[in-house]
Amino acid sequence: MESLLTLSIGDYRAVELSLRLTMSLIVMTALLQVLCLSVVARNLRLPLIFSSVALLEAAWFASSVCFAWKGAFELAGTSYCVTGHPLAGEGRIIAWSLGGPAILICFGLLQLNPREKFFRNLCGMALGWAILGPFYQTVALIGFILCVLQFREILPGSSKKQRVLRAEAFVAIVSMALGFLIAELGCLHLLPLGKSATEILIRGEVIHSFCNLFTLVVPGLALLIGILRISPKNPQLA
């Protein structure tokens, strides 16, 4: 129990750095999407706006995890001891449940026909994921799988637009799947997190930070790259 209550300065700062870096990268991805609004065609701006807003909201909830980590420990001599304040792990889950569905909807706006059932199903599944995901991790995983199934007719598409976006959509989906896989393996204690309580806490927080990169940052950048590739050179003429 003593190992759980006391962290070395190096371990504490490693987690703090990973949390701050993750939050900064999410914000930077959102700001890049906002800045690129001026260089893309008008009909491609809605996905960027929707995605950037969702990523900024996700960053806000991710910041609560960082602030909670700072409040949960205080420096006592040469180590950090717990203060009794809880860690805000729910903020990370809410961030996933906001950013992930929004990015998939943005890919749907670019590739699916809004009048077809695939797009309507995608919006419904994403909404269910966003609402219930923060409360039930299994529901979030099921929602992600159901959303991905709505792209089954698009990923092997043959039109020029679909061929260009197919690689970006595939990267985003695989990255999200990898983030979910790592998180699930951690919950099932199938990752080498260590034996002591301190090792499990430190490595678990760092791994969760990497999951944020896979579920939010990489898909957000993939969406931005895809939109820049299909946007006309002169957006004012689009």
- pTM tops 0.85, yes or no: yes
pLDDT at 197: 79
Q: What is the DSSP letter of 195?
A: S
Q: Is the pLDDT of residue 4 over 60?
A: no
- Confirm if 111 and 162 have CB atoms less than 8 A apart: yes
Which carries the bigger pLDDT value, residue 4 or residue 226?
A: 226
Kindly indicate the confidence band of residue 116, based on its pLDDT and cuts at 50, 70 and 90.
confident
Number of domains into which the chain is organized = 1
Average pLDDT over residues 91-102: 90
Q: Is the pLDDT of residue 128 over 70?
A: yes
pLDDT at 138: 84
Q: Is 81 left (phi over 0), alpha (psi -120 to 50) or beta?
A: beta
- For residue 32, what is the domain's CATH number? 1.20.1070.10
pLDDT at 2: 46
- 191-230 per-position pLDDT tens digit: 888 777 788 888 888 898 889 999 999 999 999 999 998 8
Average model confidence (pLDDT) across the chain: 86
Owning domain of residue 118? 2-237
Least confident of 60-74, 75-89, 122-136, 141-155: 75-89
| Coil, helix or strand at residue 7 | strand
Q: What CA–CA distance (Å, rounded) separates 121 from 145? A: 12
Q: What is the largest CA-CA distance in the chain?
A: 66
Of 165, 190, 100, 178, the closest CA to residue 139 belongs to 100
143 membership: H or E segment, kind and range: helix 137-149
Kindly indicate the confidence band of residue 178, based on its pLDDT and cuts at 50, 70 and 90.
very high
Compute the radius of gyration of the chain from its Cα atoms: 19
pLDDT at 181: 92
- 136-155 per-position pLDDT tens digit: 888 888 999 999 998 876 66
Q: Is the pLDDT of residue 1 over 60?
A: no
Which carries the bigger pLDDT value, residue 8 or residue 189?
A: 8
pLDDT at 233: 61
